[in-house]
Structure 1
Amino acid sequence: MVSMWCLRVKSIRRRPMTLLGAAAATSFFVGVALFKSWTPAHVQCVASCASVGVYQILQKNEASKKLKNHRVKRFDVNFLGSNSPIEDRFVVGASNNLGATLFSVIDGHKGTHCSHYLQHHMLQHVSTALHKTGDVKDKDDLRIILNMNSTPFVVNSQAEVELQPKDGFDGNLIKGCLQKSLSLLDDSFCNAALEDIKLIQKGHSLSPDMKQRVMTAIEGACAITAVVRKDDIFVANTGDCRVVIGRETAGKTWTAVPLSDDQNAQNKAEVKRLQDAHPGETVIIENRVLGSLMPFRTFGDADFKWEKKYLQGLMTTWINYETPPYVTAEPVVTHCKIEESDRFLIIGSDGLWERVSNEEAVNVVARTQGEKKFSKKRSFFGSIFGESRDDECCRDNAATQLLWHVLGGSDTEVSQLLNVDPRVSRMYRDDITIIVVYF
């Protein structure tokens, strides 16, 4: 071994350029190690993720908005499609007269018509109803702060919206208003399409507008809306999107407080409601409504609501389709007071919650915020060849950090999921939309 080393040294001495090259290589690796060991992790993240194109893809759809608000100081948002085109939507609005900020996440299925319609009409419909309930004489002043169709969709753009909360709104009235207004919204566009169907059955030609209305009603969407006003949060849930509070407890630990329940076969109350509404029928087959629809409450999905005679000639009805409607858009509305230890709100489509638990999501967001203040330093040797992990990446936007985590939390895993063939992408992940709201 010693003789081999001596021969190697002699060889290097005979070739000074080899010695210089070895010294340069050593300096490079030492420099990389020092950089990765002592540089804040989010700076490393940009370089590491960029090397495989991951960070640019995840960052493309992220945004952060600041608000001048009694309770909400800012929100982060991000989304990632799996379906082509993406069927998820989101919309954020604010009303000075109501003193409220409104957040909606919409998860479409069978197409984009229904989710697109809800994005452009739901908050306006709710806001108008709330103004009437509160006997606000001023006109509806809802402002759309951001939605998925913002053009251009500006990365990390900042906006300040000042709200002045007003009195005169009863909590029970707000709950009732949300429940009634969203049910009426579904009735309005489903009934409009039904009138078109009746005309078509009488021989009327199908116009482009009629086709648009029918497609909106036949396709479907789940949607969840959170209204934050003063110290109150009202959540109206139709389907299996979800809202969770991140609450900091003693000892700097975190608790996930769900403000909604998924309305599917795992929800015993929903199973009972559906079975009671259709006694003697087999309405739940393989954990789905009539063996097809997974959520038990949805907007649209008129093929689970209209009488069979209106579906004949339009589409094949489902097995055991005897006593519609089988699904409803009427939301379950919950209310809670914001506590001093509540730090943030996570609103997500089911593409998020299929891959992460409430507790895990809260801990990821909490850790992201903590590490903005205290960047971790990596060991000298462990930094040389290690790839970025989910505690090191994308932490300027908590929605992006959470998205990174649910996709695997490392360069390799996230890259693999992002580069799946679009034709089979839906087999591996759903559309994912995330809003993180900070109190």
Structure 2
Amino acid sequence: MRRAIVQNLRTFRRPSPRKALKGLRINGPGNALFQRSLASARSTRPLQSSMQLRRVSIPVALGVAAGGAYYAYQGQGSPGRSASSVASSYSAATSTGHTSAVTYAPSGTTTSALDNPNEVPEAVRKALVVEDGQLFTTQIPVGQTISKETDASGRKVLEMVDADQVTAKLRTNEESYMVGRGAGVVRYDVVQIPSNDPIEDDHVEKIVDVPSTTAASGPGQTSSDWMFWGVFDGHAGWTTSAKLRQTLVSYVARELSATYKTALSDASLTYPSAESVDAAIKSGFMKLDHEITHESVEKVLKAKTKSVAAEVLAPALSGSCALLSFYDSRSKELRVACTGDSRAVLGRRGATGKWTATALSVDQTGGTPSEDARLRAEHPNEPYVTANGRILGGLEPSRAFGDAVYKWSKETQDKLKNQYFGRTPSKYLKTPPYVTAEPVITTTQMDPTKGDFVVMATDGLWEMLTNEEVVGLVGQWLDKQGSSTRTSNATANGWLSSWFSSQKASQLPVEHHEQGDTSGQRAPIRQQQWGVSTGQDDRFVVEDKNAATHLVRNALGGSDKDMLSALLTLPSPYSRRFRDDLTVQVIFFGEGQVDGKVELNKEASATAASGAINGAADVRAKL
């Protein structure tokens, strides 16, 4: 969950290694090469670099800066020198904590044995340097190793992952399932990419086989399916999102079951009203949040032990947004319940053959006009109820599970803090609660014969791509899969037939492909921060069999291999400045094979151990 101010980045072209070496004087006992900042406060004149700075498509907001990386230069200096002795010299050269190992000399001055261009390796590897929110790359010779992960100036120095490692990272948590239930859904793909450690996002997918005594079925049917997909964007910890994965579907399904049974008990009704179904979903959300936020306090005060407090209060003190979709196979209605700023977008084929993007949720933050107006109406005469787009100037989402410091009274917070632990209440806290878990629900009539699809994702995706880009990318991916199927005369992917298009490969097959959005969603701010050229579809690639992985790859750089590698090289907590946790689900509606099974799609899955799951309790639950 993006909760910190994100710094921008800028890159610079630097001299080639050979030319740059002629402007360097090496001081100290070791031949350590160091790349200084062009705007360093410690230098009054610019330095030439011994390593060529490679371009990463990311701008820097804090000013012009380049980076530094110490590395052991095996084989340089005295003849016959061992790698271990080089490493020792490196340690000696940097142990003082100063950055004077390299000084500026006028161009053309011979200052070192390193001036011999024959000693500069032609083959290089890429290294990434992180300093105070700035990100840039350098090069190191093949066969050499970075001696330390942190240089003498405290900069993080990392060797960038290569293309194979990038793909491995992207696919580590991908899963795909083929749904042979004959109920309108044929496939769903999922992937997660962590930025926080541990990842604060979570997700759930569940098919509930509902008997006719609970939900009336069609002719000849004894049951129908309720299908749920959820993405949970945690913040201030992972415990709330984990709680939602474990329990939210059960809470909602229980409320829906009671509502459907009530409708069936009335002979004049065959289906509950839309209002009652929405009310059931909201009730499930609110009851779970009440358990997390308020019943937890009762348990702690009754138990009177810190161990119980640590376990029970964790989901209350952290928080999570929730985006839950509920599909009824009988009515063919998809309800999307949104609490927070995760987002769902529908892709539907238009009259021109291109896809259209329709948002099925609205981002709920302190900066959303409708949410700001609601909060100010509920808390009159409190000018800081929202400040800088955040609740009481702190929390960004205006709706969330947990986040009890925005829901508990000051007295409760003081009591828990004094007896156990907690946080100091905000000075603006007057009339809580300021944050609610009540979702906003939209209903969409799905038409499986037209091949609709829905993308659900945490805001880590939407701050990188627009709605139209996401839908166009899935359309592009479908075209590629369909082309492969036609070429190989394969029949296994017959479900793809309703998605085929004839758009040019270099263009996203989407209507109104524009930047920005006027329907309540925030624009993808990372595109501005990274200096991404908008409206250029050639920056996208199709390299993955999993549609969710395909979206993440293109969100993180697509054809810009340096940016993609850089963003996946960064470990936590450094990565959090440049990208969020990412959780993406892509749900494909259609009329596929009817065999009653839910099977693992092995070609687009990396984490499942078995080859097939036969529609039993492993992947679905009964009420």
- TM-score interval, normalised by the smaller of the two chains: 0.7 to 0.9
Partner in structure 2 of residue 327 of structure 1: 435
Hey, what does 1:429 align to over in structure 2?
579
Contact 1:192 1:213 survives alignment (8 Å): no
1:131 to 235, 257, 267: 257
Q: CA shift at 1:51, angstroms?
A: 4.2
Q: Does 1:412 align with 2:562?
A: yes
For structure 1, the 5+ residue unaligned runs are 1-48, 138-166, 379-387
- Aligned equivalents of 1:189, 1:69: Cα separation in 2: 37
Q: Which residue of 2 aligns with 1:259?
A: 360
Partner Cα distance (2:299, 2:376) in 1: 31
Q: Which has the higher contact order (CA 8 A, sep 6+)?
A: 1
2: distance between equivalents of 1:405 and 1:251?
A: 25
Cα distance in 2 between the residues matched to 1:197 and 1:124 = 24
Match of 2:455 in 1: 346
Contact 2:366 2:387 in 1 (8 A): no
Change (3 A) 1:51 1:297: closer
From 182, 185, 195, the counterpart of 1:72: 185
Q: Are positions 1:96 and 2:198 aligned together?
A: no
| Shift of residue 96, structure 1, vs aligned partner | 1.5
Preserved CA contact (<8 Å) 2:345 2:359:
yes
CA distance in 2, matches of 1:205, 1:365: 51
State which drifts further: 308-317 or 120-129: 308-317
Alignment check: 8 A CA contact 1:242 1:348 kept: yes
Q: Deviations over 1:330-388 (max 9, x none)?
A: 1111111114545200000011111111111000011000011236999xxxxxxxxx9
Query: Are 1:272 and 2:398 an aligned pair?
Result: no
Q: Does 1:308 align with 2:407?
A: no
User: Residue 40 of structure 1 corresponds to which residue in structure 2?
Assistant: none
Following TM superposition, by how much is the alpha carbon of 1:59 offset from its aligned partner in structure 2, in angstroms?
1.1
* Residue 392 of structure 1: aligned partner: 542
CA contact (8 A) 1:198 1:310 kept: no
The answer on whether the counterparts of 1:114 and 1:221 sit within 8 Å (CA) in structure 2 is: yes
- Percent identity between the aligned chains? 34
SS state at 2:452 partner: strand
Shift of the alpha carbon at 1:199?
A: 4.5
Conserved? CA contact 2:293–2:402, under 8 Å: yes
Pairing 1:226–2:325 present? yes
Find the aligned partners of 1:170 and 1:434 in 2 and give their Cα distance: 31
Greater helix fraction, Structure 1 or Structure 2:
1
Distance in 1, Cα, partners of 2:227 & 2:505: 38
User: Does 2:552 match 1:403?
Assistant: yes
Distance 1:343 1:311 in 2: 47
Task: Please point out which of 348, 357, 382 is paired with 1:247.
Answer: 348
Q: Deviations over 1:286-306 (max 9, x none)?
A: 110001000000000000000
**1:272-315 deviations in whole A, cap 9, x for unaligned?**
11000110002111110001000000000000000001111332
Rounded to whole Å, the distance in 2 between the matches of 1:288 and 1:377 is: 41
CA deviations 1:200-244 (Å, max 9, x no partner) are 8xxx3323x332111111110000100111320111110001111
Greater gyration radius: 2
Q: What is the Cα deviation at residue 431 of structure 1?
A: 0.3
- Runs of 4+ in structure 1 deviating by more than 6 angstroms, as ranges, are none
Supply the distance in 2 between the matched residues of 1:51 and 1:299 (Cα, whole angstroms): 38
CA shift at 1:197, angstroms?
4.8
**Structure 2: gaps of 5 or more residues:** 1-160, 216-224, 264-269, 485-503, 507-537, 590-623
1:123-160 residue CA offsets vs partner (Å, 9 max, x unmatched): 011111111111189xxxxxxxxxxxxxxxxxxxxxxx
User: Take 1:342 and 1:290, find their aligned partners in 2: how far apart are those partners?
Assistant: 44
Whether the aligned pair in 1 keeps the contact of 2:348 and 2:356 (CA below 8 Å) is: yes
Number of positions where the alignment pairs a residue of Structure 1 with one of Structure 2: 350
Work out whether residues 195 and 571 of structure 2, in 8 Å CA contact, stay in contact via their aligned partners in 1.
Answer: no
